[in-house]
Structure 1
Amino acid sequence: MPFEMQAKDFPLLKNDLLLRAARGLEVERVPVWIMRQAGRTLPEYRAVSEEHGFFGICRTPELACEVTLQPIRRFDLDAAIIFSDILVVPQALGMEVIMKPGEGPVFPEPLAGPDDLARLQRPVNVQEQLGYVFEAVTMTRHKLEGKVPLIGFSGAPWTLMGYMVEGKGSKTMSKAKRWLYQHPTESHQLFSLLTDVVVDYLVGQAEAGAQLLQVFESSAEYLGPDLFAQFALPYIRRISSEVKDKLKAKDIDVPMTIFAKGGHYALEQLADSGYEVVGLDWTVDPAGATDRLGDKVTRQGNLDPCALYAPEESLDALAKQMVERFGTRRYIANLGHGIYPDMTPERVVTFVDAIHKYSRQD
């Protein structure tokens, strides 16, 4: 298949379930992977993190590769996702981001107003600024030895802008949304700049060996239909269109996923945004989502991450129920958001094995 390999020197892919499901092709069983599977829950990751720090791992290809491989060694997952962070894009624009224990990422000097846009570095040479991610991708493709596909990713412009303006995670995104209402022209300027960088960043990951690309619009829940249509959706569409055009010129073809957390109000628009896969958070009804998305895209999701706290028998039943509700065609099993840091690895085993067990096609 043309999407199995982008370079002749990569090992032959042995498990292409994820890529076939993304394309709407037949699969023997539903593929499953977990957002934030690399890191967080694994003691072997914590050992690396304590020594090198979060962004130290991100910026060191050998360490990022090792952490990406850790869950693949432990669990029967159908994909690996490169260990990195969406905030490497603002870093490439010249903004400082630090990871504070117990608080998460913090920008010491966020964008206070439109005048601060002049602080951002432009144009951005992604090979120079983010080349360490590309090195990690290529290294990991080789180290995976074809066991499963490798996913690359980026944050979407609205989600990135939220962090850049708020300075950290927010429960309201009020500072960022103020920009949308008070400074729409400058907001579009920032979104356009971010889109340019994200496009080049995703293209670079695919060139380096990523076999599927996911775009995280993790803050869609703070917008709503009108603001989303005006400030998020146009750039989500631009990303898919421009990435595919640039990769086509290089004879590279990889499927793409859009995951807009809280974007239940925009499923129809997301289905028409140029991505092969639409990720669903845990608040979305599988049957309703299937009706609204139609047959043109693959669905991904959407078990409540907290369901992994359930007893083993209950978790097994919940996974079975999810497969029954989504069906086995055009479906990739996942959680409805990232796995929580205090989750035990044993629960991941239960979830992954249940998906395989109940979706197997005889």
Structure 2
Amino acid sequence: MSETTRSRSRRAHHRPLVAAATGETPSRRPVWFMRQAGRSLPEYRAIRADHGMLESCFDPELVCEITMQPVRRHDVDAAILFSDIVVPLKAAGVDLDIVAGTGPVIAHPVRSSADVAALPRLEAESVGAIARAIELLLAELAETTALIGFCGAPFTLASYLIEGGPSRNYERTKALMHGDPDTWHALMGRLTDITITFLRTQLDAGVDAVQVFDSWAGMLSRDDYRTYVARHSARVFAEVASYRVPRIHFGVGTGELLGAMSEVGADVVGVDWRVPLDEAAHRIGPGKAVQGNLDPTLLFAGPDVVDREVRRVVADGERAIGVGAVGHIFNLGHGVLPGTDPDVLTRVVELVHSL
């Protein structure tokens, strides 16, 4: 651990996001945005004009620059490491690419026990570029700005590997899950190992918090989540608990799963826009912080609507604290949409900080 990392660790409570996540009183209400570093920013588009997505994810200087862009522009309270869900799979040796307009595409989908056995394991040195990027970021970030590490949850990684890419119905994923549970759990175990290695690399490098994205868990019933997914996500959170940094869990369309997702070990549960934060806090149970949950499409609706809805989310967050949440981190209910005016995001941050 570098001196920069040790220094930041000693002063972690100065960061509003860390304070809100751990039940302390933040100096201001923390706000950041999922996908804040990306296509909504002209400075990001300028970089990507000459660099592919995966190339950018494995270049420490580019990761640092892209991660810092929204921090400089918006004054958000956290930077989230610029990466992609499939980065640890690529680093391990899985043959995949990120295709513009499509997303991750897997050359040889995983459909059998033999395919699972052939999956490579992730060695920490294979993601050394990410550790180097974190070192660069820690040297540049202000003491009050948290750095959030990033990974995909085992279920979401499994869905990409099985389907071969993004899917609308996840029929192959659910067929393997129900039709061959032994192979399913073997695959999830291998992906859990990869996820843990990737998170530990980031934590050893000094991130202040981690967020686990189970982006597609909302496709599952509560029973299926508890039967086929929860134990593996729980192992991820348990294996990084000793680092004593906030652990955030988020999925899309997971309103019916919030209670089950809260049981796997996260300190903060992200909530999409479909469930008010106070209702979400009831479902999650006491003792955890909530994160969210402005509908990202409302950023296109004009300043009066944005002002009203930001105030509503802040009020919902206060009510969530009143019913047992330990804190509220303002965010969107999903990622920033590509066509979002970055000036609107800046105004949202200013408003949240003023309330």
TM-score using structure 1 length: 0.91
Aligned equivalents of 1:119, 1:238: Cα separation in 2 = 22
Match of 1:209 in 2: 206
Question: 1:11: how far off?
Answer: 10
Q: Deviations over 1:304-342 (max 9, x none)?
A: 110111101210110001111121851000001111111
Which letter maps to 1:316? D
Q: Deviations over 1:241-271 (max 9, x none)?
A: 1111xxx3xxx42110111222222222322
Aligned equivalents of 1:35, 1:334: Cα separation in 2 = 7
Which runs of 5 or more structure 1 residues have no equivalent in the other structure?
none
Which of 281, 284, 287 aligns to 2:275? It is: 284
Match of 2:15 in 1: 16
Aligned equivalents of 2:129, 2:10: Cα separation in 1 = 21
Question: 1:14: how far off?
Answer: 9.1
Is it true that 1:232 corresponds to 2:223 in the alignment? no
Match of 1:272 in 2: 263
Which of 306, 317, 324 aligns to 2:315? It is: 324
Aligned equivalents of 1:229, 1:291: Cα separation in 2 = 19
Which runs of 5 or more structure 2 residues have no equivalent in the other structure?
322-326
Aligned equivalents of 1:228, 1:242: Cα separation in 2 = 20
CA separation of 1:134 and 1:68: change in aligned 2, threshold 3 A: same
What secondary structure sits across from 2:50 in the alignment? helix
Match of 1:155 in 2: 152
Which letter maps to 1:183? D
- Runs of 4 or more, structure 1, over 3 Å off, are 8-15
- Alignment check: 8 A CA contact 2:15 2:26 kept: no
Which letter maps to 1:16? R
Match of 1:196 in 2: 193
Match of 1:186 in 2: 183
- Alignment check: 8 A CA contact 2:248 2:270 kept: yes
Q: Deviations over 1:94-143 (max 9, x none)?
A: 21221222222212222233322233113x31x22211111111111112
- Alignment check: 8 A CA contact 1:87 1:160 kept: yes
Q: Deviations over 1:210-229 (max 9, x none)?
A: 10011111111111111100
Q: Deviations over 1:12-49 (max 9, x none)?
A: 66951000000011123310000011112111111111
- Alignment check: 8 A CA contact 2:5 2:138 kept: no
Match of 2:294 in 1: 303
- Alignment check: 8 A CA contact 2:289 2:328 kept: yes
Match of 1:259 in 2: 250
- Alignment check: 8 A CA contact 2:31 2:78 kept: yes
What secondary structure sits across from 1:333 in the alignment? strand
CA RMSD after TM alignment: 1.8
Once the two structures are superposed, the pairs formed by residues 6-155 of structure 1 within 5 Å of their partners are 6-8=5-7, 15-122=14-121, 124-125=122-123, 127-155=124-152
Aligned equivalents of 1:74, 1:92: Cα separation in 2 = 31
